[in-house]
A and B are shown apart, each in its own frame.
Chain A
Amino acid sequence: MSQRSTPADVSFNLTVGIIAGIAILILVAPVLIVIATSFTTTQALRFPPPGLSLRWYGELFDPVRSAPIHNAALNSLWVAGWATAIGSVLSVLAALAITRVSRPSARALEASFLSPLVLPTLSYGLAALMFFSVLGIRPSLNLLIAGHLVVIAPFVFRTTLASLTQLDPALLEASANLGASRLYSFRRITLPLIAPGIAAGAFLAFIASMDNVPVSLFLSTARTSMLPIRMWGMMESTLDVRIAAIAGVLIVAILFLMVVMDRFTGLTRRMSA
């Protein structure tokens, strides 16, 4: 469409271009600034850093001085791993059940399975704490797994449901007509086709658990400290430059995982479609 450019159109293009540029800057700059800060030589969080060194990474990986951080990171990985594993199995089963039925009740179930995505999980965190204390159960990593499971399951449920709706029913009919049992069809046809969707959801769920503040805030204790809460504590007391080093490690890990996941599951396509 070649159009004559009126002043109004020029002003539109300029406005859109400038604001989009600002948006990209706002999105990217903080991440880059944190990484740059992590290589500083000083105690102060100055940007640009006066000198470059690996000093804070050294501090961070020191097994004695950073023991609490290592402990919290291991707890977070453990909880995220189990919550993602259990949550994925339950969500895939639930998604299979819901795609097969188109009653209003199925839609209601779907909405309730997705509700933790928009309900304030902070309210849920307190509710879970009260619930377990009324039952007389002491805080532990298992309780954290249970609490995280509820708030991260929707990620897997959503991507699995999306993959299932794109599945061609003719494939399953053909398989059934050729005498395959339902379980066999599921194993040989359905599962391979929805696996990338499940994997993408599980990846997002794992990240969400590693990053979860609201639930961990109420269910973790000094003994079962979690990484984000520990980092929050470090920010509240003294602005420790090690936070920037943790950020550097996490960002590199996430970038690597994103590239890998994108290759195998089309993660970016799934999230934008």
Chain B
Amino acid sequence: MSAAAAAPGASPLRDTVEWRLAAPLGLTYAVFFAAPFLILLGISFYADAEQTRLGLDSWVKFYTDAFYLKVIFDTLKLGVLAVVATTILAYPLALVFRAASPRMQRVLIFIILMPLLTSVVIRTFAWIVILAREGVVNQTLMALGLTATPLNLLQTELGLVIALTQIEMPLMLLPLLTIMNQMDQNLVDASRALGASKWRTFFRVILPLTLPGWIAGATLVFASATTAFISQSVIGGARLVYLPSLIWQQSMVVYNWPFAAVASLTLLFTVLSGIMALSWLGRFAKTS
């Protein structure tokens, strides 16, 4: 794996030369990535929008107000729903991919990558065309006589989850496909030969074996869905408030930077807690 077993007789001196190659990117990250976050943290400790007094007022205001706590909860919930929806759709597609011929697999990969490489703004726009009152879904439902009046799908959590499912699905699929292709077919065959049904084989053999791939995918989907500003603001509309739109509004509309900084750090903690929960799940699954 690692090329640390470098050429025999590599002197420590040569090692240090190698290390320096990481310095340019490391410095860039230190200056343009780490430092801005420190400034963000610093600004969150101003007590007022004019940044004249220091104090914990912004933090207290955010974490004692039921409205803002609900925004945090809704953002988390949106991330979880996106993970659940992409999981339900991605697993069967990954199973089909595994059973497909190499030629078919290439076609499927293109189908999966295409949305991933299509702008998020465009995909959000597509869902407006689909979910609008005169959109594809409503026209189909009305033609089938399932509903007399067009349903309001835009500006609802359901519509947003549907759109995010399509937008994030490739992120779930890619790690799943990778791990499915690495899975030992013998284990699946053994399970079947011993009389387990396909259902049982899936839940008792395939699912546990592919869990690491799922965790990688779920991490990306969760992080992406909770920060999907454009989709949240355009499809969710003004009625549904999530952390990203709150950050935008507080920083660029109201100009309350300390409060926006608190909201930003809260989003960071929310995503990190989700990632940690998922990696803990992975470790827990390994040991049990």
Contact surface of A with B, Cβ cutoff 8 Å:
1, 3, 6, 8-9, 11-13, 15-20, 22-24, 26-31, 33-34, 37, 44-47, 89-91, 93-94, 96-103, 109, 112-113, 116-124, 126-131, 134, 146-147, 149-150, 153, 157, 164-165, 167, 169, 172-173, 176, 207, 210-211, 213-214, 217-218, 228, 231-232, 235-236, 239, 243-244, 246-247, 250-251, 254-255, 258, 267-268, 271-273
Contact of B223 among A119, A236, A243 (CB under 8 A): A119
> Is B280's beta carbon under 8 Å from chain A?
no
Interface size (B, Cβ < 8 Å)?
A: 100
Q: A31-B118, A131-B35 are in contact. Are A101 and B192 (CB under 8 A)?
A: no
The answer on a CB contact under 8 Å between A147 and B199 is no
- In the bound complex, residues from chain B placing their C-beta under 8 Å from that of A164 are 3
4 further contact pairs, Cβ within 8 A, besides A12-B198, A254-B117: A30-B126, A47-B136, A127-B36, A169-B6
User: How many interface contacts (CB-CB < 8 Å) are there between A and B?
Assistant: 285
- In the bound complex, residues from chain A placing their C-beta under 8 Å from that of B147 are none
Contact of B121 among A33, A121, A165, A235 (CB under 8 A): A235
Interface string of B178-190 (1 = CB under 8 A from A): 1001000000010
- In the bound complex, residues from chain A placing their C-beta under 8 Å from that of B252 are 218
Q: What would 8 A/B residue contacts be, using CB atoms closer than 8 Å? A: A11-B199, A99-B3, A100-B4, A120-B267, A213-B121, A232-B233, A267-B113, A268-B106
Contact surface of B with A, Cβ cutoff 8 Å:
1-7, 15, 18-22, 24-26, 28-29, 32-33, 35-37, 39-40, 43, 88-90, 92-93, 95-96, 106, 108-115, 117-130, 132, 134-136, 139, 165-166, 169-170, 174, 177-178, 181, 189, 192-193, 197-199, 202, 219-220, 223, 226-227, 229-230, 233-234, 244, 247-248, 251-252, 257, 260-261, 264-265, 267-268, 271-272, 275
Contact of A247 among B19, B28, B122, B192 (CB under 8 A): B122
- In the bound complex, residues from chain A placing their C-beta under 8 Å from that of B219 are 118
Q: A27-B115, A120-B271, A251-B122 are in contact. Are A128 and B36 (CB under 8 A)?
A: yes
- In the bound complex, residues from chain A placing their C-beta under 8 Å from that of B111 are 24, 27-28
The answer on a CB contact under 8 Å between B118 and A250 is yes
Q: A124-B36, A165-B1 are in contact. Are A96 and B18 (CB under 8 A)?
A: yes
